[in-house]
Amino acid sequence: MPRYYFHVIDGRSIIDNEGAELAGLRQARVEAIQLAGAILRDEGDTFWKGEQWHMNVTDASGRSVLKLHFSADDQGIAPDEDREIETLA
């Protein structure tokens, strides 16, 4: 089975030196989405600092096979609107 590596670049580089053996590119796509979701869930507050980050998925030869880009813009919600959003959650 091929091995894929999931590198995250968010102002610093987090290099995946272990990778994961996956059945193929389709499974690598699923893994990339799941990993990105976990990062957004666990690091959500830092995501709103306005810096773009991306995940670069490479194969065992180091060739880039997938790239996911992420960014968010806080549109300056007024404090009253922010409280309303919190109560809806």
* pTM score above 0.85: no
Average pLDDT over residues 69-86: 68
Q: Which residue has the higher pLDDT, 82 or 49?
A: 49
HEC letters along the chain:
CCEEEEEEECCCEECCCCCEECCCHHHHHHHHHHHHHHHHHHCHHHHCCCCCEEEEEEECCCCEEEEEEECCCCCCCCHHHHHHHHHHC
Q: What is the pLDDT of residue 85?
A: 55
